[in-house]
Amino acid sequence: MQTAEQINLIRRISWALAKASAEDCLDTPGEFVWAYPNNSQFWEVRARSHSIFSSGNAIKDSTVIDFVNSLSLSEHLRDCWIVNKFQEAFPSWIAAGTRYRLHNLDQFRYVGFSQGTQESFLNWYMMHKDKRLRVFRGDYWWHMEIWQKAGFNWRYIDDDFDIQPGDACICSLPFALTGQEHERFKWLVEQCDRQGVDLLVDFIYLPNSNNVVDIDLSADCIKEITFSLSKTFPVQTAKIAVRMLKHKPSDPMQMSNDENICNRLSSGLALSLIQQFPADYMVNKYLDQQQHWCERLGLQPTGVVHFGLGNDYTATGRQQETNYLSRYNEQQNRYNLGMLYENQNLLKNLQLY
C-alpha cells in the first residue's frame, strides 16, 4: 500500500518531468504529445503531469538511440529483399530470449512484417467481421474503441464467460493491464479450443518481460500471434511489428507481403536492431531500476520491466474523465517507469531519485 508521502513524491516527479519536457531539459527527450506541454505555464504543465506515467511505450534507452542514429536507413529502399531478410531472422531472435518460453513456436511458419500491431489487428477484425469479438477488460483499449466506432459486435469476456462458437478472441500476454499472465488466460485457451474459437495472442511486451510467460502454442485455437518491436525499442513511430500464423492467410496484409510493398525502411531498421541487441536486452539492463523505483514509490513490480502497479495518483480532486485517449483505457493504476530510467541525472539533481 502506498503511503501519502510516496503519492506526494509521485506527484512531484510527474510535475518535474512535465516541466522539464516543456523546457527541453530532459536527459532523454522524445515524449509523445500527451506528456509534452506546449509551454511551462502552470495549467499546461499540470495537465501534462497527469499523463506522465500513462504510456505503454518502450524505454528510451540511450545506447539503442545512439545506434539507430548511426544507421543509414535509406540504403534499405534499394534492397528488394530486406523485408524477407527481417522476416526470416525474427523467429530465431524471439525464440532466443532467455526470460520466457514459447513452446512449439516453429508451428507458426508464416511470418509477416506488420505496420505496427494495429495493422495485424485491423486485418483480424476484418476477417472475423461476422463474429462476436471478445477481449478481457483492461486489454489494449484500441480494440474496443475501433469496434465501437466501426459497429462490430463485441463484448467483454468478463461480462459473459460463455465462450461460444461464433466468437473470436484476443488476449495480450503478458496482459496489458497487469504485466503478468491474465488469471483466466489458460482457461480462455481451453474454452477456445473446446468451442473451435480463433484466438489471437498478442505478445506486445514479451521481450521486456521477466519469467511470466511459459506457453504451449500448439493449441489449435491459437491461430495467430503478434509481436511489437515498437514496444521493445525506442522506435515507436517506425511502426515495426510481426505477425506469425500456422496457416497462410489471405487478407490485405498478406497481399502486401506477397506483392513486396511493405515498409522497407522500418524492416531494415528492425533487422539492424535484432542483429545488434538480444531480445532480453531491456530486462537485463533495467531490472535493478524497476526494483529501485517500485520500492521508492511503493509500487508493485510487474513482469514487464518498465511497469509498476499502484494507486491512481491523478484521481484526487479531478472532475473530468481520467481515462486517457479512450473511455476503454482502464490502465490508470499501471505506471510506465521508463521516464524515470531515462532521466536519472535530472531526478538526482532535483533530489527526487
* CA angle 137–142–147, rounded 5-degree value: 85
pLDDT digits (tens, 9 = 90+) for 81-94: 999 999 999 999 99
Residue whose C-alpha cell reads 506515467 in the numeric block:
53
- Average pLDDT score, the chain: 93
- Nine-digit cell at 98? 532467455
Residue 38's pLDDT is 77
Q: What angle do CA 269, 275, 279 make, to 5 degrees?
A: 100
Closest CA to 273 of 242, 240, 227, 307: 240
pLDDT for residue 316 is more than 70? no
- Measured between alpha carbons, how far is 204 from 36 in angstroms, rounded to an integer? 24
Least confident of 97-111, 179-193, 292-306, 311-325: 311-325
pLDDT value, residue 163: 98
C-alpha 240/C-alpha 351 separation (Å) is 37
Q: What percent of the chain has pLDDT over 70?
A: 95
273: pLDDT strictly greater than 60: yes
Encode burial over 135-145: b for 16+ CB neighbours within 10 A, e otherwise. Answer: bbebbbbbbbe
Residue 218 has pLDDT above 80, yes or no: yes
pLDDT of residue 123: 97
Can you give the C-alpha Rg of the chain in angstroms?
A: 20
Q: Hey, what domains does the chain have and what are their CATH numbers?
A: 1-26+42-50 (no CATH), 65-276 (3.40.640.10)
Q: What is the pLDDT, as a whole number, of residue 37?
A: 76
CA distance 212 to 179: 8
Residue 319 φ then ψ, to 5°:
-105, -30
Residue 32 has a pLDDT of 64
Task: Give the model's confidence band at 48: pLDDT under 50 very low, under 70 low, under 90 confident, else very high.
Answer: confident
- The residue assigned the cell 497487469 is 178
Q: What is the pLDDT of residue 45?
A: 84
* 19-33, 136-150, 156-170, 328-342: segment of lowest average pLDDT: 19-33
pTM of the model: 0.94
* pLDDT digits 0-9 by tens, 117-173: 999 999 999 999 999 999 999 999 999 999 999 999 999 999 999 999 999 999 999
Closest residue by Cα to residue 60 from 109, 13, 27: 27
Phi-psi region of 111 (alpha: psi -120 to 50; beta: other; left: phi over 0): beta
pLDDT at 286: 98
Residue 319 pLDDT > 70? no
Q: Rounded to a whole number, what is the largest CA-CA distance in the chain?
A: 58
Give the residue from 113, 95, 61 showing the smallest Cα distance to 270: 113
How far CA 130 is from CA of 29, 99, 141, 183, 225, in Å, comes to 44, 38, 21, 28, 21
The answer, yes or no, to whether residue 10 has pLDDT greater than 80, is: yes
Q: What is the pLDDT of residue 306?
A: 97
Provide the pLDDT for residue 141. Answer: 94
Q: How confident is the model at residue 266 (pLDDT cuts 50, 70, 90)?
A: very high
Amino acid present at 179: G
Please tell me the predicted confidence (pLDDT) of residue 35. 63
Residue 351 has pLDDT above 90, yes or no: yes
pLDDT per residue over 236-249, tens digit each? 889 999 999 999 99
Residue 98: pLDDT over 70: yes
Give the Cα separation of 267 and 71 in Å (integer): 13
Per-residue pLDDT, 106: 97
Peptide bond connecting 174 to the previous residue in cis, omega within 30 degrees of 0: yes
**C-beta of residue 195 within 8 angstroms of C-beta of residue 219:** no
Q: How confident is the model at residue 331 (pLDDT cuts 50, 70, 90)?
A: confident
Given this model, what pLDDT does residue 350 score?
Answer: 96
- Taking residues 90-113, report their average pLDDT: 98
* Residue position matching grid coordinates 490502465: 331
